[in-house]
């Protein structure tokens, strides 16, 4: 005879839900750990076969400009910071730069919506390291 107690039936449904939630949590945690590992790791030696400038032109210069000055329509529209200034280079440490590239930016500053998507599915960690090095190469030299 099937269990006639509806309370019991609901209870077992709940426990299935709980298990599913737990599983989802584990998967999300694993994904986050991977992202954090790629963000927090020390910059690896830039592999010779990665052309950071090429990646930059393909994915970043529309908003940030050819040399990080954000002298583009999109850059001006979103008041994107100029990466070639000492202030900018000081404001963002390596972890912050990599994190922005991995997860993106979505904020409103002085009433201006600033949005950049995350590139974790498009760029390999080595490519992100190479972009970081490229961005650092624009720091003013004096
Ligand atoms: C659709 C436009 C757009 C594209 C494309 C874009 N960004 Fe951004 N990026 C932004 C905006 C907007 C901000 C926030 C600007 C600010 O606050 O000065 C930003 C900020 C940043 C920052 C600073 C971190 C922060 O928290 O503000 C870095 C580093 C950065 N972008 C790197 C990149 C790289 C590398 C690429 C290419 C892989 C890229 N961006 C592509 C729009 C873009």
pLDDT digit string, tens, across residues 66-108: 999 999 999 999 999 999 999 999 999 999 999 999 999 999 9
pLDDT at 101: 98
Please indicate whether residue 137 or residue 30 has the higher confidence score (pLDDT): 137
DSSP state of 66: T
Average pLDDT over residues 26-32: 59
pLDDT at 39: 57
Angle at 80 between CA 78 and CA 82, to 5 degrees: 155
Range of lowest pLDDT (22-26, 96-100, 107-111): 22-26
Written as six digits, the tokens of 3 are 């269990």
Q: Is the pLDDT of residue 1 over 90?
A: no
Handedness of CA 66, 69, 73, 79 (dihedral sign): positive
- Chain centroid to CA 134: 17
pLDDT at 42: 46
The CATH number of 41-136, from 1.10.3720.10, 1.10.760.10, 3.40.50.10260, 1.10.3210.10, is 1.10.760.10
Ligand 1 atom 40: residue of nearest CA: 60
List the chain domain ranges: 41-136
Instruction: Work out the number of other CB atoms within 10 angstroms of the CB of residue 135.
Output: 22
Q: Which atom of ligand 1 is nearest to the CA of 122?
A: 38
Q: How far is the CA of 83 from the centre of ligand 1 (A)?
A: 10
Q: Is the pLDDT of residue 11 over 60?
A: no
Beta 105-109 vs 112-116: how paired, if at all?
Answer: antiparallel
Q: Which atom of ligand 1 is nearest to the CA of 60?
A: 37
Probe residue for ligand 1, chosen from 50, 64, 111 as the CB with the greatest number of ligand atoms within 8 Å: 64
**Average predicted confidence (pLDDT) for the chain:** 84
Please name which of 107, 125, 124 lies closest in space to residue 116, comparing C-alpha atoms: 107
pLDDT at 37: 54
pLDDT at 49: 80
Q: How far is the CA of 100 from the centre of ligand 1 (A)?
A: 7
Q: Is the pLDDT of residue 9 over 60?
A: no
Q: Which helix (H) or strand (E) holds 25?
A: helix 6-40
Name every protein residue with a CB atom under 6 angstroms from any ligand 1 atom: 59-60, 62-64, 74, 78, 80-81, 92, 97, 100-101, 105, 114-116, 119, 131, 135
């Amino acid at each position: 005879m099937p269990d006639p107690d509806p309370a019991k039936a609901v209870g077992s449904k709940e426990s299935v839900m709980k298990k599913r939630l737990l599983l989802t949590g584990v998967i999300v945690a694993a994904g986050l750990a991977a992202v954090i590992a790629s963000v927090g790791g020390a910059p690896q030696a830039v592999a010779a076969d990665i052309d950071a400038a090429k990646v930059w032109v393909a994915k970043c210069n529309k908003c940030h400009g050819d040399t990080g000055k954000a002298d583009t329509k999109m850059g001006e529209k979103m008041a994107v910071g100029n990466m070639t200034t000492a202030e900018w280079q000081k404001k963002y440490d390596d972890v912050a730069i990599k994190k922005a590239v991995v997860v993106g930016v979505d904020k409103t500053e002085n009433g201006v919506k600033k949005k950049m998507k995350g590139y974790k599915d498009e760029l390999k960690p080595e490519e992100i390291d190479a972009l970081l090095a490229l961005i650092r190469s624009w720091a003013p030299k004096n």
